[in-house]
């Protein structure tokens, strides 16, 4: 049976370095199938690489995925500007070289055979996506692979975010622009069908709040109402068994860099 009460008032603006964000993130991880399913797919990508010398994880966060990938590579470099996330990252992946600078100032020491850029673009203005991803693609070794991961624009999670904030993200225009600018590389876009599950309404609403924070809520006035968010969760995500399921399908853009520039 669903349980828990929901606080009233505006949704929280979650600071990625703060305890409220970390609590919501851990709650999300406890109920989602994201890590096992994405890690399985990432392992398939790694198996198809010609070389596995260097991994570069850009926006590595708390390092669980970094650690999963790192075991397949000789060296690991991680870019993570958040001090709170770096603390967890160094515990999860102590062998990694951690760069604390933001992406626009980071200087990885060598090209990487796999570059992983997952759920970072939410925090980058849309007009900066192409130059930023182009910069990251430049850190990819010839014949290496860049992976860019983001919510699918039609996922239940993203439809909810769009309903409350007007924000919806889409990798397809970025893929088209990259292909037009860099036609020598190979491009593919796939989706991973992922779900968060819980028996408790309060936890479902907390995770929904975490999900709508993909928008820059600090610029919104007024903020979305938690009571309305709870009503949305009941209406769209309640299951006949009394639990709640929030789909958060993700897109994965794969760019295999050409072996030569000519």
- Judge whether residue 238 has pLDDT over 70: yes
| pTM (whole model) above 0.85 | yes
b/e map of 87-116 (b: 16 or more CB within 10 Å)?
Answer: ebbeebbeebebbeeebeebebeebbbbbb
**What are phi and psi for residue 128, nearest 5 degrees?**
-100, -5
Compare 216 and 111 and report the one with higher pLDDT: 111
- Name the band, by pLDDT with cuts 50, 70 and 90, for residue 203: very high
User: Can you tell me the distance from the alpha carbon of 79 to that of 104, in angstroms, rounded to the nearest whole number?
Assistant: 11
Q: Crossing angle, helix 172-181 and helix 129-137, to 10 degrees?
A: 60
b/e map of 121-146 (b: 16 or more CB within 10 Å)?
Answer: beebeeeebeebbeebbebbbeebbb
- Judge whether residue 4 has pLDDT over 70: no
Mind listing the pLDDT tens digit for each residue in 145-184? 999 999 999 999 999 999 999 999 999 999 999 999 999 9
- Judge whether residue 110 has pLDDT over 80: yes
Report the C-alpha dihedral over residues 59, 91, 214, 191, rounded to 10 degrees.
Answer: 70
- Name the band, by pLDDT with cuts 50, 70 and 90, for residue 260: confident
- Name the band, by pLDDT with cuts 50, 70 and 90, for residue 5: low
- Judge whether residue 2 has pLDDT over 80: no
């Amino acid at each position: 049976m669903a349980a828990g009460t929901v606080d009233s008032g505006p949704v929280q603006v979650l600071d990625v370095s703060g305890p409220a964000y970390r609590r919501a993130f851990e709650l999300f991880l406890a109920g989602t199938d994201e890590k096992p399913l994405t890690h399985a797919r990432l392992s398939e990508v790694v198996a198809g690489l010609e070389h596995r010398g260097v991994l570069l994880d850009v926006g590595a966060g708390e390092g669980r995925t970094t650690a999963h990938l790192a075991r397949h590579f000789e060296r690991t470099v991680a870019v993570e500007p958040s001090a709170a996330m770096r603390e967890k990252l160094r515990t999860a992946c102590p062998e990694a070289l951690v760069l604390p600078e933001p992406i626009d100032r980071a200087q990885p020491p060598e090209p990487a055979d796999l570059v992983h850029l997952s759920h970072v673009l939410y925090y980058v203005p849309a007009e900066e996506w192409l130059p930023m991803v182009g910069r990251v693609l430049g850190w990819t070794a010839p014949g290496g692979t860049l992976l860019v991961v983001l919510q699918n624009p039609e996922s239940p999670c993203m439809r909810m975010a769009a309903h409350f904030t007007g924000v919806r993200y889409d990798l397809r225009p970025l893929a088209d622009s990259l292909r037009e600018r860099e036609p020598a590389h190979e491009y593919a876009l796939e989706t991973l069908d992922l779900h968060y599950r819980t028996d408790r309404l309060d936890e479902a609403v907390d995770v929904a709040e975490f999900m709508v924070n993909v928008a820059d809520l600090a610029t919104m006035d007024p903020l979305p109402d938690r009571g309305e968010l709870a009503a949305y969760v009941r209406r769209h995500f309640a299951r006949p068994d009394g639990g709640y399921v929030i789909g958060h399908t993700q897109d994965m853009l794969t760019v295999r860099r050409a072996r030569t520039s000519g």
